[in-house]
Homo-oligomer: A and B are copies of this chain.
Amino acid sequence: MTTTNARPRSGRRPGASGTRAAIAAAARVQFGDVGFDRTTIRSVAAAAGVDPALVMHFYCSKQQLFVETMALPFDPAPVVADLLAGERETIGIRLAHFLLHAMEDPAVSTVLLGRIRAAASDPEAARLLRDLVPGELVGPLTRELGVDQPELRAGLVSSQLIGFAVARWIVGVEALAALDVERSIAFLGPSLQRFLAGPLP
């Protein structure tokens, strides 16, 4: 990202080779696969083919490596705007549609699953996940919809979204892992719709 920015200026180039990017890529994969604790600076360095000290040189600490590397590869704001622009009766299914298709991209799934895995044992990572899912993604949706109890609705939607991700990709429930994207959307959509805009007791 930083090293290969498509804007050739006249000054001297910021980085030399793609080493930093290679480290980031390796870290992303490992954080996504085995979580924060079981990812080590050494194993990341080995996977990237560099010295462990170089990882520290670029990212200063393991925590910072996690934060910089687990940034969402897309901006949630326009997505939220798009969802709000459509019909409210189908917003649940369209939210499911967007997220489940996004999870097909390893760059997205790795980051989301990595954040979930880390949140399971680290309170600080839990805050990061809270800020992202009910915070940036679902919260603005329910607040702009003009429904009652928007925060509660955002929490309920988040619980089903996180739960499906955990059950499908982390716990590995077979019947869910066997689903294709379109069927997953069809099953989750109605539940999300009820939480988002349906009547709540």
Contact = CB atoms under 8 A, between A and B. Distances in A.
Contacts of A133: 171
A155 B176 contact: yes
Interface stretch (A30-38, A41-49, A56-64, A75-83): A30-38
A166 B162 contact: yes
Given A37-B38, A171-B126, A159 B160 contact: yes
Contacts of A195: 187, 191
- Chief secondary structure at chain A's binding surface: helix
Contacts of A191: 160, 191, 194-195
A97 interface: no
A155 B123 CA distance: 27
A167 B161 CA distance: 10
Contact of A172 (B130, B161, B172): B130
Interface of A: 34-35, 37-38, 116-117, 119-121, 123, 126-127, 129-130, 133-134, 149, 151-152, 154-156, 158-164, 166-168, 170-176, 179, 183, 186-187, 190-191, 194-195, 200-201
9 contacts: A130-B171, A134-B173, A155-B167, A156-B187, A159-B168, A162-B163, A163-B164, A166-B166, A191-B191
